[in-house]
A and B are shown apart, each in its own frame.
Chain A
Amino acid sequence: MGWHGYLVLWCGVFGAVALVGYGRSLAGMTRAQRTVWAKGRIERVGEPRHGSSPKDGIAVVVSFQDPATGQEFTVTNDDERGERISVAWTGREIGVHYPRGRPHAFRFANHLSEGGRGLGWPTFALFLVYAGLVVAAAIDWGWPWALLGFCGPWAVSGAYHLPGNVRDRNRRIDALAAMAAVPGRVVAVLKSVTVDSNDGSTSTHLVPVVTFTTLDGRAVTAYCESGLTDPAGSRGLNVTIHYAPDDPAVFVLDVEAERRSWKRDMTVNVVGVLVVAAAAVVGVVAL
């Protein structure tokens, strides 16, 4: 079997995977479509223990109601339970999802939006088919096809999403100006030590935990992974927290640094789209 045979095999296998996936999605059988989403409410927030692991997130007690049966559940984020909860206050609403009929297999999500139609894997399989065809074209007809094949669709997609991305960055920059400032305090520094399996060296990851009370009285406990110059010695430090009044989960310590970061991000976004588009044009010219 020549390499074209392997290409046909590659495209056939992943094409079949994509077809099956899209078929399942149409029939409403994907895992995402069979997932039940409920709105959970944080009832209690535990105080993090200094030096403990940040892996499990802030200890919370959450209540939610199964929409199918109306049964109430009170659960905690013990063990592997979906997304890590890194900002918590009593009364905060978080997403809870689980396979239909199995509320005991619940997982948490930091958002309330539902999971979509489960098209991620089929689309990825379709991308692999496309990538195989582009590689074949590049080998048979020359490298410009690789540039055109990969950078062309990427540039089109980037250009399509660019206005929305720019609007989103501008909105975030505007939101920074509308943030409320309150005093906060670093109550603990969490520590995670890992050992490199290759050279045996250990690396330590430190996560300070801040608490602050919003102007409307919500007592927020949150992991603060950036903004503190010396995380190791930050326990007991008083800081000023700037938070978005409509969602205290969005907070920063240094507003100016955050503004610069978003502007830089916007520039990188625009330059990235331009570079990819230029690569696609080079591919077309070199054909």
Chain B
Amino acid sequence: MTITTGAPPPTHNLPVALARGFLTGGVVGTSLAALVVGGIVENASLFVTGLVLPVVYGLLWFLAGMPRRAREAAVVPRTALAVIESREAVGGETSEVPVRFELTVVPDDGPVYRVEITQDINLVDLADYRPRGVVVVQYPPDRPWRVRIVKRPTPEWEDRAASAQLDSVPGTATVAAPPQGCAFGFVVLLGLLLGVAAVLLAFRADLFDRDDTAKSPSAARPSVSSTSSTTIVSSASGTVALGRGQSFLDKGELDRALGSLTKGGDTRDKRQALTVVVQERLLSVVFSPAGTQTPGFDPRALPYGGFPALVEEATTTLGVRSPQTWQITADRLTGSLVIRVVVTGAEGTASLEADGQGKVVRRAPAR
């Protein structure tokens, strides 16, 4: 007796299985990339997304599989006799070893078929499963390849197995689970790569900016150095020097330099400045000594946006026709905040003074 159907019916729809594989790969790739990228760019939301996404997906997967599991659980397993064609222990160091069996299953009401299974068997019981021996097996009728040897059959089946004389039938069809094929592995990999790529593309700006910042000492950005001055007792100063071809009159350059001086330390951002000096490529801030009542001011509150206009005015209206250097000094040593612009050229030195809002209050032409 041979099985009539050559191949068992597939239990799942191939496009749906491929879509699920793609989605699974995508979720794995996205969550892994989110964890790594979230950690690098210190984005807590992205990191949490990397943790939550697989959990939510797993939950959805579980819920989506409930009808199928309920359907499979409702199937009453079929019991049958089987002949052991061969057996082979395939490893294991414990008392239960996985054994690969080749069985010829002889159902009462269906065609005979051959199947390969692997089942854990206790070493002590291994002698009960010799080749050519008859055993009792169970399997779901809709998935005949999921055969399990019944180690403790009921008395009825035990008697049947003991009295059965079964011979192997040559040429019986072998039944196996439908293969998923390499297409499944391919779509999983594709989904994984696309998931990773999506996260990397979405956060490329953060990642690349971070790279630029990391390379700042050798890059074209400002070269920042902070030093402690010993010329003023109990105080510190900060200095920022720009590289060649740059100027503190460039848009945003002063704000950035001030930021690097006032945000770097633990207490510096709260400290007041005694003097701020700006030159073409040099910014110096002398901070007020801590704990003293000096006439300081907040160095971040200066009208930096108006500095280019002040320098422009000083170099064009005060008689210095070929200015060589300029310097802005801000202090409030005389009470109110004074911003002094000094321009030096072949004609001599000219200066102008502005108030805290950048409004010119006094001019001293070249002499």
Residues in A lying within 8 Å of B, measured CB to CB: 1, 44, 46, 49-53, 55-56, 59, 61, 74-79, 99, 101-102, 104-105, 191-195, 202
Contacts and interface: CB of A to CB of B under 8 A. Distances in A.
A128 to B, nearest CB: 15
Nearest to A191: B95
Contacts of A1: 45
B214 interface: no
B109 interface: no
A77 B73 CA distance: 18
A78 B45 contact: no
Contacts, number: 54
A105 B94 CA distance: 29
Nearest to A52: B124
Interface stretch (B147-155, B219-227, B277-285, B317-325): B147-155
Contacts of B124: 49-53
A77 B153 CA distance: 9
B49 to A, nearest CB: 11
B4 to A, nearest CB: 27
12 contacts: A44-B155, A51-B124, A52-B124, A52-B125, A53-B95, A53-B124, A76-B150, A76-B152, A78-B153, A101-B74, A102-B73, A202-B94
Q: Please report whether the interface of chain B is mostly helix, strand, loop or mixed according to DSSP.
A: loop
Interface residues of B, number: 20
Nearest to A43: B155
B122 A74 contact: no
A195 B151 contact: no
A75 B73 contact: no
Contacts of A55: 96
A190 B317 CA distance: 105
Given A1-B45, A193-B95, A195-B94, A76 B73 contact: no
B356 interface: no
Contacts of B45: 1
Nearest to A51: B124
Contacts of A59: 152
B131 interface: no
A202 B93 contact: yes
B201 to A, nearest CB: 24
A276 B122 CA distance: 46
Given A61-B155, A191-B95, A193-B94, 10 more contacts: A53-B95, A74-B155, A74-B156, A76-B152, A78-B153, A99-B73, A104-B77, A192-B95, A193-B95, A195-B93
Contact of B154 (A53, A75, A194): A75
